[in-house]
Amino acid sequence: MKFSIVYFSAAGHTEKVVRHIAEQLGGVDRVVDLSDPFLKACDFSKDERVVVGCPVYGGRIPSIVAERLGKVSFDATRVVTLVTYGNRAYEDALLELNDVLLTRGAIPVASAAIVAQHSMAPSVAADRPTATDYQNLSVFSRFALQKYDELHAVPVQVPGNRPYRAWSKMPVTPVVSGKCIHCGQCIQKCPTMAIWITDPKKTDPSKCILCMRCVAICPQQARQLPAQAKEAIEKKLAPVAKLTRENEFFF
């Protein structure tokens, strides 16, 4: 049996983990990419098997994930869920993701919080997930498989608090250097269409969610966080940069 995947992955780490799990379980069938600004409404039947993942932003799920999951409906479909986070903390994100999915009709039956390179400070958790992390994920996948087949689906308990922690993004957008060759990739791939279609140097701060996709994909490394913001983030993350956090799995 093949597995469907539903994910938001700005810098690519979450997508890799979600795909790894689905591939371990039998292969990828349907793909729903929540970063697509033109995402069409879709639904999953009771018998489909789905893996859902997103990154952690400020201990929460990105607000765009909750918004775009509003277009995805489930019919008591069992889902395996995961969040990836950059070695600081995942706080309420996994709980929030599972809560949103329950409201959409899904039943989260197994969940994971996985450490991945920090997309805002790539020197933090730079090598995660490691080969060992992927081995652990393969074991998790085999346990998760049993959860899809159990007679009664019971929602998995995960850590986190309600109300979820408050978080707002830094009031900055990536800036563009003279190395830009106007290839347009950042314009096409921005999940919120925040970059001016005719001028990649202009970003709409009211639309930009600071997801870092444009920074990660720019072939010229022309898009970067403003130097001051970069410095502030690296300083804030310095204490956690030295820690090796363990992945966590819940059944």
Calculated CA dihedral for residues 55, 12, 87, 5, nearest 10 degrees: 50
123 DSSP assignment: T
In the block, residue with structure tokens 């098997």: 49
Q: Are 87 and 240 in contact (CB under 8 A)?
A: yes
239: Cβ contacts below 8 Å, ≥ 6 apart: none
The Cα–Cα gap between 17 and 133 comes to 10
The Cα–Cα gap between 80 and 246 comes to 19
- The number of residues that bind ligand SF4 (CB under 6 A) is 28
Alpha-carbon dihedral sign for residues 184, 185, 186, 192: positive
Site string for ligand FMN, 28-57 (x = CB under 6 A): ---------------------------xxx
- Judged by CB under 6 A, which stretch of 97-105, 192-200, 207-215, 226-234 contacts ligand FMN? 207-215
**Which of the choices ligand FMN, ligand SF4, none does residue 190 contact, using the CB cut-off of 5 to 8 A by kind?**
ligand SF4
- Judged by CB under 6 A, which stretch of 23-31, 102-110, 177-185, 205-213 contacts ligand FMN? 205-213
Q: Are 45 and 161 in contact (CB under 8 A)?
A: no
Site string for ligand FMN, 59-88 (x = CB under 6 A): x------------------------xxxxx
In the list 210, 229, 237, 250, the residue contacting ligand SF4 (rule: CB under 6 A) is 210
CA atoms within 13 A on the CB side of 82: 31
**Which of the choices ligand FMN, ligand SF4, none does residue 49 contact, using the CB cut-off of 5 to 8 A by kind?**
none
**Which of the choices ligand FMN, ligand SF4, none does residue 85 contact, using the CB cut-off of 5 to 8 A by kind?**
ligand FMN
SS3 of residue 224 by DSSP: strand
- Judged by CB under 6 A, which stretch of 113-121, 136-144, 155-163, 226-234 contacts ligand FMN? 113-121
Alpha-carbon dihedral sign for residues 23, 49, 12, 34: positive
Min. distance of Cβ 182 from ligand SF4 in angstroms?
5
Site of interaction with ligand SF4 (CB under 6 A): 173-174, 176, 180-186, 190-192, 194-195, 200, 203, 208-214, 218, 220, 222-223
Site of interaction with ligand FMN (CB under 6 A): 9-14, 55-59, 84-89, 116-120, 169, 210-212
